[in-house]
Amino acid sequence: MATAGRVVATGALVLVLAAGAYATADVRDLVPGVLTLDPPPADPAPFPTAPGAVTPVEPAAALDALDPQAPVPAGAELQRLVDALVEDERMGRRTGVVVADQLTGEVLAQHRGDVAHVPASTAKLVTAVAALSTLEPTATLRTTVVRGSGDEVVLVGGGDMMLAPGAGDPALVDGHAGLGDLAEQTARALQLEGVTSVRLRVDDTLFSGPRVNPRWDPDNLALGYVAPVSPLAVHIAKMRDEEYPPRFTDPAMSAARTFAQQLEKAGVRVSGEPSRGTARTGARQLGAVESAPLYRIVHYFLDTSDNTITEVVSRLVAIGADLPASFQGGTQAVLHAVKAKGVDVTGAHLEDASGLADGSVLRPTTLVGLLRLATDPAQPLLRDVATGMPIAGLSGTLSDRYTQSDARGFVRAKTGSLPHVTSLAGTALDADGRQLVFVVMADKTPDGGQWGPRAAIDGFVSRVQGCGCA
């Protein structure tokens, strides 16, 4: 019995010692167990819960609200300034002028404001307002390459006439997307197929009708003021990096040749010369690049007064309205769009969207309506029309005007120039802090060019801005 007791005691001792050893190992996290020397873990974060429904807040205004307490300038004094401008011999024999209060729309002074005049490039305001009120401002224009028949690939124009020949630069509008980037994408896709040689076609069927307006003065093409309108081009079809260089007569085919060169650089041989062809519906895409967003494109053509890009954008408005993407379809679409926004287009007729063609007319009051709409804080989609216009003495087509005027920086306006036509339409913050809208349209100016009427108009606008004549 004594021997059995010793065995039991010894076994119990072994178990106790083993348990103690295991507990020691558990404390040191050497074996599984509940004991540990580590600090206790932090409480877990609460399980996330979906937020409850809340009342939506009103969207912020795109532009600061105007101060209704700022004094309105006296109409009699403004009318005196208008009459003096109209009588200025530098303005010629036919001038329309309107000065209105931006906040209320009240016409403070005018001369022939309801008479249609040749707008020149102030007509671009119609296209700008139409585009940003009917199309998505952040939309981009996509240039793609798709598979064609056999060994063909098809370069498809999506409306971007500002492609860079090589790599694109996201900081730019003209050159935002690049054919070099598109060629590299295409080459990689072809190499995965084991394809090293292709034939290239270009599809420029997005737009219809003539590429050159029959009412454009041929000199405007020769002098580089405009290019044939195409859904595809490199740097607006410019042959040289200048403001008004010669332009390629076939922008799409010129872009196709540039793309072929970029494909060769990327390691894909292009057999023969590029030719035209239509991409098949549902064709497999090999690559794509996208332009700057629409609002930046609108800003670009207002600031630079680029005729070609304005025509492109009018065609995009036409496509959105299910109208032909042509000169006729574009002008019809933009006028209809601004009318739908409440702008009075009585007497308006456009031969093109840029104001370059002979035969276009708009009333000064129509331009006033466009400007009031674009500067209305309740119209956030049109903000880039208001901010896209050149700033007096600082930017765009007004950078070299008002440089010695107190109105420098206080006036934003769209310029317009044709032979014997000078116009300016914009906004001015006067000396009392009142926002005014003004339009000047002179379409029978004297011989001698733009210097005289521009100087007269700039002097008038400077006096209106500095009036403080409440």
Please give the full DSSP string across 13-68, using - where no structure is assigned. HHHHHHHHHHHHHHHTTSSSSS--SSPPPPPPPPPP-PPPP-PPPPPPPSSPPP-T
User: Residue 428: CB partners within 8 Å, gap ≥ 6?
Assistant: 407, 410, 411, 435, 436, 438, 461, 464, 465
User: Residue 49: CB partners within 8 Å, gap ≥ 6?
Assistant: none
317, 321, 326, 330: CA torsion to nearest 10: -50
Q: Where are the alpha helices (DSSP H) in 390-450?
A: none
The alpha carbon of residue 51 and the mean position of all alpha carbons in its chain are separated, in whole angstroms, by 36
User: Residue 411: CB partners within 8 Å, gap ≥ 6?
Assistant: 391, 392, 398, 402, 426, 427, 428, 429, 461, 465
The DSSP letter of residue 322 is T
Q: Which of 95, 99, 92, 98 is nearest to 118 (CA)?
A: 95
Exactly one of 124, 230, 254, 414 is catalytic; name it: 124
Q: Is 305 a catalytic residue?
A: yes
406 within 8 A of 412, measured Cβ to Cβ: no
Q: Is 341 a catalytic residue?
A: no
- The pairs formed by 306-309 with CB atoms below 8 angstroms and a separation of 24 or more are 306/236, 307/121, 307/220, 307/225, 307/226, 307/354, 307/355, 307/356, 308/161, 308/226, 308/227, 308/229, 308/236, 308/237, 308/354, 309/161, 309/162, 309/236
Q: Please give the single-letter amino acid code of residue 77.
A: E
441 within 8 A of 423, measured Cβ to Cβ: yes
92 within 8 A of 442, measured Cβ to Cβ: yes
List beta partners, residue 398.
none
Strand order in the sheet with 107-111: 107-111, 95-101, 435-442, 421-429, 411-418
Q: Is 444 a catalytic residue?
A: no
Exactly one of 254, 305, 354, 423 is catalytic; name it: 305
As annotated, the active-site residues are: 121, 124, 305
